Amino acid sequence: MASHRGTVTADNAPSAIGPYSHGVIAGSLLFCSGQIPLDPDTGELVGATAAEQAARCLLNLDAVCAAAGAYLADAVRLTIYMVDLSDFAAVNEVYASFFEDEPPARVTVGVAALPKGAIVEIDAIVALSPAAERA
C-alpha cells in the first residue's frame, strides 16, 4: 500500500467480484467502487425492481462508508448506472429517502448491461472527517 492512499474492505458489504477494493481513501476523500445489489451474506443478486436494487446498492455503499469511518450522508457525488432509464422516477424516490437533507451531486447514466444481470449500480465519492482520514 502506498503511503498516500489506503484501501477499505467492508465486512458488511458483498465481497468484490473482481480485482478491486470496496473503496480507496486518498487525502480527505473516499472513492467507493460501484455496488450492484448483492446480498452481503449470500453474494446473490437481490431486488426485482430498479427501486429495490437501488436501495440495496445504497445500503452496500453505506457499509463501505462505515468501514472507512464515514457515512453515506457525507457523499459529495454519486453515479447511478441504470439499464432502463424509464425506472428513473422510482430510483429517485428511493434515493431521496437516503438523502433527505443536502443531497450530494449526482449523475445518472443509461447503460446496456451491468455485472451479474443487475439493472442498477451505484458508486460514490465521500468526504471524510479529519478523524476518518488515513494518510
pLDDT tens digits along 63-104: 999 999 999 999 999 999 999 999 999 999 999 999 999 999
Task: Decide if 133 is inside a domain.
Answer: no
Task: Decide if 47 is inside a domain.
Answer: yes
Could you tell me the pLDDT band of residue 132, with boundaries at 50, 70 and 90?
low
Task: Decide if 132 is inside a domain.
Answer: no
- Whether 108 shows a pLDDT value over 60: the answer reads yes
Task: Give the CATH number, domain containing residue 27.
Answer: 3.30.1330.40
Task: Decide if 135 is inside a domain.
Answer: no
- Whether 3 shows a pLDDT value over 80: the answer reads no
Burial of residue 125, with CB atoms counted within 10 A of its CB: 0-12 exposed, 13-18 middle, 19 or more buried: middle
Query: Which domain range does residue 89 map to?
Result: 5-127
Task: Decide if 66 is inside a domain.
Answer: yes
* Percent of the chain predicted with pLDDT > 90: 90
Residues 6 or more apart whose Cβ sits within 8 Å of residue 25: 5, 6, 7, 8, 31, 68, 128, 133, 134
Instruction: Give the chain's domain count.
Output: 1
